[in-house]
Chain A
Amino acid sequence: MKDKLLDTINKFEPDKKSSPFLWTLYDGLHTFLFAPNHVTKDGVHIRDNMDLKRTMVHVVLLLQLCYLFGTYNIGHQHFLAIGEYTGFLEGFHLKFLYGFWQLLPIFIVAHVVGLAIEFYYAAKKGHSIEEGFLVSGALIPLIMPPDIPLWILGLSVAFAVIIGKEAFGGTGMNIWNVALLSRVFVFFAYPTEISGDGVWISGFENLELPNTAVEYGWVHLTLFNGIFDYFGLATFDPGWYVMDGFTGATPLSLGFQGGWEAITEVYTQSAMIWGTIPGSIGETSKPLIIIGAVFLAAIGIASWRIMAGMLIGAIFTGLLLNLWGATPFMTVPWYHHLYLGSFFFALAFMATDPVTAASTERGKWIYGFLIGFFGMIVRVINPAYPEGWMLAILLMNTFSPLIDHLVLRKNMQKRLASA
């Protein structure tokens, strides 16, 4: 069976010179289906079974937990805004399919734009497709607000991949985390479209206007409702509208205005931990992210040193801010800060990107600690944007070569001094 398939596929091999783009596409598919038959030449005769595809796919696999919960939570938040099916498991099919239909275009746009650019550059440079975008493409939808306009998303992905990665030479050469670069593009280039509390809840034209009605399309009202009707399940109702007084504010923006009390007035502690709160698509459920973080650290794909450094840095800074206590947000105890916002998501999946992080072991501790430090500072003290990890990680990405340089210089000085 395998040989037959292989023969059939091999028959279709396009000519590399006359049609490089087709060949790149073919090569990408071929190496995806079959590990190539390359053998070692000079140097070692046997090689470790590990390659970049496998490394990357493990991150993507662990992100699937966040995808599952994120899909559900888009729907859950939508229904919380309406005030129907507010229980966690009530209307499960409605929430899940609503979220799925909202997430699917985001996922497709991010991948189509990113992969197209990746393929184009691979063909142009004449090398095989590199796996870098597998992870970036999986991360980008998870860090976007659910209500993001698709054209902004497409533009941000194109910016991140072209300016952030290909301009530097492709996978492994980039200075900044590609996924975060696309997020930061959205944040700085379209502050008006994407600001306010409304973006965290999807399905409404403008959440702030009273009695805004839901926007359902043909898919919801005809396709999904048809299916649900058939099975005798509850259906989407086009007459729903936003509950009075619902704002969709995230815990962080509440905390910024009124400290811990303002947060707990709206959200329970367990909701914040389990993730049934508004936020970026994949960042809300802390237990699932922690599972991913522990697993990635245990199998050695993400650096536990960066994670530990960042945790220590955030706790340390949290303690300092608690001591200072000048604003209501500063008085939020440090241990509550850990499950507010996207701290764990940044810790598990963003800071640990090996390409943009520090590459020496000592450097990783410093790098992680400083991300924790600056992230907390940006989150608590910055007046405009109450979340810091994106900016802190990009800042430290910029400085990670410097950290490495200092660590290496110490090693070099030790060696040269004794010569």
Chain B
Amino acid sequence: MEFKNNRLRLGGISLFLLSLFVVFPNVVLAGNDSGLDLVTSLIIATVIIVFGAVIFVADNLLQLESKRQMEGKDIKIDASLFPKDFKVSSDKLPTYIPRDRYFHLNRGFDINLEGKPENKILETPNVSNYSVLPTDFYGLAPIPKIVPDEGSSVLAGDELFFDKRSPEIKFVAPVSGEFVGIKRGPKRAIHEVNFLADKEIKYKELPAVDLETASREDLVNFLKKYGGWVHLRQRPFDTIPDPEDVPRDVFISTFDTAPLAPNLNFTVKGESAAFQAGLNLLNKLTDGSVHLGLDGRGEEMPSEVFLNAENVEKYWFKGQHPAGNVGVQIHHIKPIKKGDVVWYLHPHDVIVLGRMLTERRYNTERLFALTGAEIKPNAYVRTRPGANVNEVLSGVEFRDDNVRIVSGDVLTGDRKERDGFLGFFDDQVTVLLEGNYYEMFGWLLPQAVRPSLSKTFPGFLFPDLEYTADTNTHGERRAFVVTGQYEAVLPMDIYPQHLIKAVMTNDFERMEGLGIYEMSEEDIAICEFVCTSKMPLQKILREGLDIVNE
């Protein structure tokens, strides 16, 4: 669709200019005898327009016909007479990227921060406190039913709690050890389910599953019972999928473009078998296919784990953040329409599912990137989601005390205290400076270089400059004034500002029409970062998602 629009636009503009060139000399030379008269020039202009129209119609018919003939075959042939894009020369692609599965996203914004993780694994920290955080899951009832008694010992993979509305979906213990109790938040909601872990993690042995013979129902029950199900997330709404729904497709993004993101090529090293097993499992669960979004930026070849994956549709994406977001990739591969349900997973969650089959145990171990300029060294540690923040960070040095610890990246992560726990879906810890200071004339003459989309700062001249960012808002909240800013960083055919306004005015029809089903908080986060009016876009979008979900 997009190509056709571009082509039409190109054609329209060139026709307009052509006819202008015919009319123009006539006007300039109106007084002279050499100028064409009005009638002649109009006739010429009409001839050009008619000729152009005939070519366009013919071209479109040509494409329709080729499309009809190619129907059902897995070959894409562009039968058009015109170039596909405005670009004069197309991207030079590395040999491993097929052109017909390649998307170049022009809009987006990379926040280039200091403190990127090196490809190095630090000594595994000795973590004894773990917790599962029910608040990590959207759509979960605030007070789930806890299964084990306080003080009892559990194995990794033992049943821990469930939501009373869907009791068959179990949340399981990530480690073996003693269940030491829960911590409640406001309104008695359970915020933490805490463990004291054993030194050596003991796993509950899961039953063997043969993918060849097992039915879809068997697999669903297996995942629900042994804790794999909650690693799946559904779009729209980012909730745990309803077991009744069969997803249209499954999407996995294999690269992360968020600020200071971990390098997934490095963190999945050696997990080929588990990753492939997870993909095979997912293939059994969907009617459609499993789509893999690969890094097409060409700076680094994706890991063998992703490149050699089978039973998947591979797509390549090039662009700045949020090109690596699964929501953006879904939008370009096969957009979510009203009523559609698709699933998405982080590659590490695919590996967890795969290990349930290959190792026959619930093992969530993964590499976490310790990032941010306020800690040294910036590298990876091997631990699990739910590990205690303080213990995970025991091996690094802090540059300052006035810091904020975030589980996840700086755009979408959750703020954690020192005694907090890493998020369930995270694979990154970011430490950044708190910005609770006054800055004299900070709005006019900032005293530090900071990342910004705005070209009123000279930063855009130095794209390789790494910034240290802090949590200061750099201004107060205002009404919407600036326009076009969100669109400039969101590579989707969506009008984020109008979507947010539709949520604010509670306009159900507009929210749907403007594509709220395709959006998630992580996709709009970059818009929230660049917002001049300092609007809390993620919060507003979540309110909208909650409204349409009801």
Contact = CB atoms under 8 A, between A and B. Distances in A.
Nearest to A412: B513
B337 A419 contact: yes
Contacts of B457: 49-50
A285 interface: no
Contacts of B27: 319, 322-323, 333-334
B438 A354 contact: no
Given A46-B432, A171-B481, A412-B513, A52 B437 contact: no
B510 A34 contact: no
Interface stretch (B46-54, B71-79, B243-251, B409-417): B409-417
A55 B472 contact: no
Interface string B476-507: 10111111100100000111011000000000
Interface in A26-63: 31, 33-55, 57-58
B220 interface: no
B484 A418 contact: no
B498 A359 contact: yes
Interface string A79-103: 0000000000000000000000000
A46 B471 contact: yes
Contact of A323 (B38, B111, B487): B38
A35 B532 contact: no
B185 interface: no
A298 B458 CA distance: 12
Nearest to A9: B438
Interface string A300-326: 110100000000000000010011000
A121 to B, nearest CB: 13
A313 to B, nearest CB: 13
A50 B532 contact: yes
A408 interface: yes
B529 interface: yes
Contacts of A49: 446, 450-452, 454, 457, 474
Nearest to A58: B456
Contacts of B512: 416
Interface stretch (B95-103, B163-171, B311-319, B536-544): B536-544
B417 to A, nearest CB: 14
A33 B406 CA distance: 31
Contacts of A418: 335, 337
A37 B454 contact: no
B338 A419 contact: yes
B337 A415 contact: yes
B126 interface: no
A17 interface: no
A46 B495 contact: no
B495 A39 contact: no
Contact of A44 (B450, B475, B525): B525
Interface in B429-485: 430, 432, 434-444, 446, 450-457, 469-476, 478-484
A412 B529 contact: no
Nearest to B38: A323
B436 A48 contact: no
Interface in B378-421: 404, 406, 410-413, 415
A258 interface: no
Given A42-B536, A47-B473, A47-B529, A6 B438 contact: yes
B476 A36 contact: yes
Which one of A55, A301, A334 has the highest number of Cβ atoms from chain B below 10 Å of its Cβ?
A55
Interface in B519-546: 525, 528-534, 536-539
Given A50-B456, A303-B484, A357-B483, A34 B439 contact: yes
Contacts of A40: 435, 471-473
Contacts of A172: 478-481, 533
A116 B446 CA distance: 29
Nearest to B498: A408
A45 B432 contact: yes
A39 B435 contact: yes
Contacts of B141: none
Nearest to A61: B444
B514 interface: yes
Contacts of B529: 44, 46-48
Given A361-B487, A415-B515, A43 B453 contact: no
A121 B441 CA distance: 25
Contacts of B510: 408, 412
A131 B338 CA distance: 40
B38 A51 contact: no
B24 interface: yes
Which one of B410, B412, B413, B471 has the highest number of Cβ atoms from chain A below 10 Å of its Cβ?
B471
Nearest to A325: B30
B22 to A, nearest CB: 12
B539 A35 contact: no
B432 A354 contact: no
B370 to A, nearest CB: 16
A130 B479 contact: yes
B472 A37 contact: yes
A54 B432 contact: no
B340 to A, nearest CB: 8
Contact of B481 (A6, A355, A404): A355
B326 interface: no
Contacts of B494: 411
Contacts of A189: none
Given A48-B451, A171-B481, A39 B444 contact: no
Interface string B205-247: 0000000000000000000000000000000000000000000
Nearest to B502: A408
B534 A37 contact: no
B23 interface: yes
A52 B536 contact: no
A170 interface: yes
B513 to A, nearest CB: 3
B339 interface: yes
Given A361-B484, A419-B339, A44 B538 contact: yes
Interface string A322-357: 110000000001100000000000000000001101
A2 B75 CA distance: 67
B486 to A, nearest CB: 10
A44 B443 CA distance: 20
Interface string A264-302: 000000000000000000000000000000000011110
Contact of A48 (B338, B430, B474, B495): B474
A364 B454 contact: no
Which one of B30, B443, B533, B536 has the highest number of Cβ atoms from chain A below 10 Å of its Cβ?
B443
Given A169-B479, A171-B478, A319-B23, 19 more contacts: A34-B439, A42-B536, A49-B452, A50-B456, A50-B457, A53-B443, A53-B475, A54-B443, A172-B533, A334-B27, A359-B483, A359-B498, A360-B483, A361-B487, A408-B514, A411-B515, A412-B513, A415-B513, A418-B335
Closest 4 CB pairs of A and B: A51-B475, A35-B442, A172-B479, A412-B513
Interface of A: 2, 5-6, 31, 33-55, 57-58, 128, 130-132, 169-173, 298-301, 303, 319, 322-323, 333-334, 354-355, 357, 359-361, 364, 404, 408, 411-416, 418-419
Interface of B: 23-24, 27-28, 30, 38, 111, 259, 335, 337-339, 404, 406, 410-413, 415, 430, 432, 434-444, 446, 450-457, 469-476, 478-484, 487, 493-495, 497-498, 510, 512-515, 525, 528-534, 536-539
24 contacts: A36-B473, A40-B472, A44-B410, A44-B538, A46-B259, A47-B529, A47-B531, A48-B531, A50-B452, A50-B457, A50-B475, A51-B475, A53-B475, A169-B479, A172-B480, A172-B533, A299-B456, A323-B23, A354-B484, A411-B495, A411-B514, A411-B515, A415-B337, A418-B335
